[in-house]
Protein backbone atom coordinates (compact mmCIF):
# COMPACT_ATOMS: atom_id res chain seq x y z
CA UNK A 1 0.00 0.00 0.00
CA UNK A 2 1.35 3.44 -0.87
CA UNK A 3 2.24 5.96 1.79
CA UNK A 4 -0.44 8.40 0.61
CA UNK A 5 -3.24 5.88 0.99
CA UNK A 6 -1.92 4.81 4.37
CA UNK A 7 -1.83 8.43 5.54
CA UNK A 8 -5.39 8.95 4.34
CA UNK A 9 -6.61 5.80 6.11
CA UNK A 10 -4.89 6.73 9.37
CA UNK A 11 -6.42 10.22 9.20
CA UNK A 12 -9.95 8.95 8.48
CA UNK A 13 -9.69 6.29 11.20
CA UNK A 14 -8.47 8.95 13.65
CA UNK A 15 -11.38 11.20 12.68
CA UNK A 16 -13.94 8.44 13.21
CA UNK A 17 -12.56 7.41 16.59
CA UNK A 18 -12.23 11.07 17.67
CA UNK A 19 -15.86 11.65 16.81
CA UNK A 20 -16.83 8.52 18.74
CA UNK A 21 -14.95 9.69 21.82
CA UNK A 22 -15.92 13.38 21.80
CA UNK A 23 -19.23 13.78 19.97
CA UNK A 24 -21.24 10.66 19.17
CA UNK A 25 -24.26 9.57 21.20
CA UNK A 26 -23.47 5.85 21.16
CA UNK A 27 -24.94 4.87 24.58
CA UNK A 28 -21.93 3.17 26.24
CA UNK A 29 -19.54 5.90 25.14
CA UNK A 30 -21.96 8.70 26.01
CA UNK A 31 -22.54 7.19 29.47
CA UNK A 32 -18.82 7.32 30.25
CA UNK A 33 -18.37 10.76 28.65
CA UNK A 34 -21.28 12.22 30.67
CA UNK A 35 -19.71 11.00 33.89
CA UNK A 36 -16.28 12.32 32.92
CA UNK A 37 -17.48 15.75 31.80
CA UNK A 38 -20.63 16.36 33.85
CA UNK A 39 -22.34 17.90 30.78
CA UNK A 40 -25.65 16.15 31.44
CA UNK A 41 -27.55 17.99 34.21
CA UNK A 42 -29.12 14.72 35.37
CA UNK A 43 -25.75 13.01 35.85
CA UNK A 44 -23.15 14.01 38.42
CA UNK A 45 -19.52 14.06 37.40
CA UNK A 46 -17.26 11.46 38.94
CA UNK A 47 -15.31 13.10 41.77
CA UNK A 48 -11.97 11.53 40.89
CA UNK A 49 -11.94 13.03 37.37
CA UNK A 50 -9.50 15.93 37.00
CA UNK A 51 -10.71 18.93 35.02
CA UNK A 52 -8.12 18.39 32.29
CA UNK A 53 -9.52 14.92 31.57
CA UNK A 54 -13.07 16.23 31.20
CA UNK A 55 -11.79 18.87 28.76
CA UNK A 56 -9.81 16.25 26.85
CA UNK A 57 -12.84 14.02 26.36
CA UNK A 58 -15.20 16.80 25.27
CA UNK A 59 -12.86 18.67 22.88
CA UNK A 60 -12.29 17.24 19.39
CA UNK A 61 -9.07 19.23 18.97
CA UNK A 62 -7.67 17.82 22.22
CA UNK A 63 -8.84 14.24 21.88
CA UNK A 64 -7.78 13.96 18.23
CA UNK A 65 -4.13 14.24 19.24
CA UNK A 66 -4.33 11.23 21.55
CA UNK A 67 -6.60 9.19 19.30
CA UNK A 68 -4.35 9.82 16.30
CA UNK A 69 -1.36 8.84 18.44
CA UNK A 70 -2.98 5.51 19.24
CA UNK A 71 -3.96 4.84 15.64
CA UNK A 72 -0.49 5.81 14.42
CA UNK A 73 1.17 3.60 17.03
CA UNK A 74 -1.02 0.63 16.11
CA UNK A 75 -0.36 1.16 12.39
CA UNK A 76 3.37 1.48 13.01
CA UNK A 77 3.45 -1.76 14.99
CA UNK A 78 1.40 -3.75 12.46
CA UNK A 79 2.54 -2.28 9.16
CA UNK A 80 5.85 -0.57 9.87
CA UNK A 81 4.62 2.93 9.09
CA UNK A 82 7.40 5.26 7.85
CA UNK A 83 7.74 8.68 9.53
CA UNK A 84 5.32 7.97 12.40
CA UNK A 85 5.71 11.37 14.08
CA UNK A 86 4.78 13.21 10.89
CA UNK A 87 1.86 10.86 10.30
CA UNK A 88 0.70 11.41 13.89
CA UNK A 89 0.74 15.21 13.49
CA UNK A 90 -0.98 15.05 10.11
CA UNK A 91 -3.64 12.61 11.27
CA UNK A 92 -4.37 14.61 14.44
CA UNK A 93 -4.81 17.88 12.60
CA UNK A 94 -6.72 16.26 9.75
CA UNK A 95 -9.12 14.48 12.11
CA UNK A 96 -9.78 17.67 14.07
CA UNK A 97 -10.37 19.68 10.89
CA UNK A 98 -12.80 17.11 9.53
CA UNK A 99 -14.73 17.16 12.84
CA UNK A 100 -14.73 20.96 12.78
CA UNK A 101 -15.95 21.12 9.18
CA UNK A 102 -18.64 18.55 9.86
CA UNK A 103 -19.87 20.62 12.81
CA UNK A 104 -19.76 23.79 10.70
CA UNK A 105 -21.82 22.31 7.86
CA UNK A 106 -24.39 20.81 10.24
CA UNK A 107 -25.34 24.27 11.49
| pLDDT tens per residue across span 64-82 | 999 999 999 999 999 988 8
pLDDT at position 17:
95
* Number of domains forming the structure of the chain: 1
CA distances from 60 to 12, 33, 47, 79 (A): 14, 13, 23, 27
Confidence of residue 48 (pLDDT cuts 50, 70, 90): confident
pLDDT at position 46 over 90: no
- CB contact at 8 A, 87 and 7: yes
CA neighbor of 10 nearest in space, from 88, 63, 79, 98: 88
d(CA 55, CA 76): 28
Confidence of residue 41 (pLDDT cuts 50, 70, 90): low
What domain range includes position 75? 3-106
Amino acid sequence: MSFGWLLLLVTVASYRLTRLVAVDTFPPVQWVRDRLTGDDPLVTRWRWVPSWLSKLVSCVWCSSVWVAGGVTLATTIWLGLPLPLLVWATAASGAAWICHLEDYFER
